[in-house]
Structure 1
Amino acid sequence: MRRLYIAVLCVWSALAHAELPETDWLALMPADDQQALEAMPEITHRGPEGDGTFTSKGGLKQEPGLPAVMYSAKTVARLDGKQIRIGGYPVPLESDAHGRSTQFFLVPYPGACIHVPPPPPNQLILVRFAKGIQLDDIYTPLWVSGTLRVEKVSNDLADAAYALNAATVRVVQESDL
């Protein structure tokens, strides 16, 4: 009986520490947005951000005149309240007294905070992480796990269609790849 108890504890412990399967960024887009994205013409990087200048409100907001899919805030309702794990890059917003980021946008590719155009709102996730994480480099990829919510967030920097209350945030390791 004692062996069975120990075996059950070992299995339970392994399951408790197992990570969720990865959620792909495209899963956050409805099918019609995915099709529109695939059919979209090449976007140039002309404009104030592409020239190295930014507006007083930052450079992550969308420029007018892009294809409609680049402004899309359409979401996938079945993801609301779902536990997910997604990889991405941070755009820091708020920090605690120790300098750890407690709120940041997670974006699908590095440099989105300085890249033109930024991802559409349904490809931006506002991450809230009360524990905070030390972010030394915005080009360092992260794994973020927690409860995803369909939640429209808008601030001076960007618009997001999702928010995630993170249970864990960690740097992607080479062994993860």
Structure 2
Amino acid sequence: MRRFLLTILLLGTGLAHAGELPETDWLELMPKSDQKALEAMPEIDHNSPEGDGTFTEKGGMKQSKGLPAVMYSTKTVPSMNDKNIRIGGYPVPLESDAKGRSTLFFLVPYPGACIHVPPPPPNQLVLVRYPKGLKLDDIYTPLWVTGTLKVEKVNNDLADAAYALDAAKVRVVQESDL
């Protein structure tokens, strides 16, 4: 949990390049009641088959049972619907085109969310649709994603998300952004 909040703070230091939208903080996607519940939550045990390097045939990212309710929250912030945003995060590739470029991926707020359980709550996962595609060499590479955010519940074998984003632009975070 502390790592999650620290990553949010670190990503929150990014400055916009000329002509880019200001950054949307991940916590802006979460209602205040969920933010308070997340801050009060005890540390989560990451001991799991996925943590040991073994995965189910579906990948193993879905939430396991028995976590605090906030970890399953699909509560959204209605004012974020149809909003043009720029948000920083890390990709979890789902689909790619014939050239190997990722066209559909989850964006998560901290690195490693795709291999550590539990994953972020659904209201902290964004399904990104990017038909142009992006060559991803490393899922630990932070990205800026700009586009129109939709309040949209997405159910996937890998994870569930409460938001989807039709990306107009995706780029790697540069050192000059920090």
User: TM-score, normalised on structure 1?
Assistant: 0.89
CA distances 1:8-55 after superposition (whole Å, capped 9, x unpaired): xxxxxxxxx600000000110000000000000011112222222211
Paired position in structure 1 for 2:73: 72
- Amino acid of the residue matched to residue 119 of structure 2? P
Paired position in structure 1 for 2:30: 29
CA distances 1:116-167 after superposition (whole Å, capped 9, x unpaired): 2100100000000011110000000000000000000011111000000000
1:120 aligns with 2:121: yes
Cα shift at 1:96 = 0.8
- Amino acid of the residue matched to residue 101 of structure 1? S
User: TM-score, normalised on structure 2?
Assistant: 0.89
SS of the counterpart of 1:69? helix
Deviates more, 1:89-98 or 1:42-51: 42-51
Aligned length: 161
Rounded to whole Å, the distance in 2 between the matches of 1:89 and 1:73 is 20
- Amino acid of the residue matched to residue 71 of structure 2? M
1:165 aligns with 2:171: no
Aligned-residue sequence identity (percent) comes to 80
SS of the counterpart of 1:41? coil
Rounded to whole Å, the distance in 2 between the matches of 1:163 and 1:146 is 10
Pairing 1:79-158 to 2, within 5 Å after superposition = 79-158=80-159
Greater than 2 Å deviation, 4+ residue runs: none
SS of the counterpart of 1:36? helix
Rounded to whole Å, the distance in 1 between the matches of 2:135 and 2:150 is 24
Cα shift at 1:107 = 0.2
Gaps of 5+ in 2: 1-17
Coordinate RMSD, CA, aligned:
0.8
Cα shift at 1:56 = 1.6
SS of the counterpart of 2:123? helix
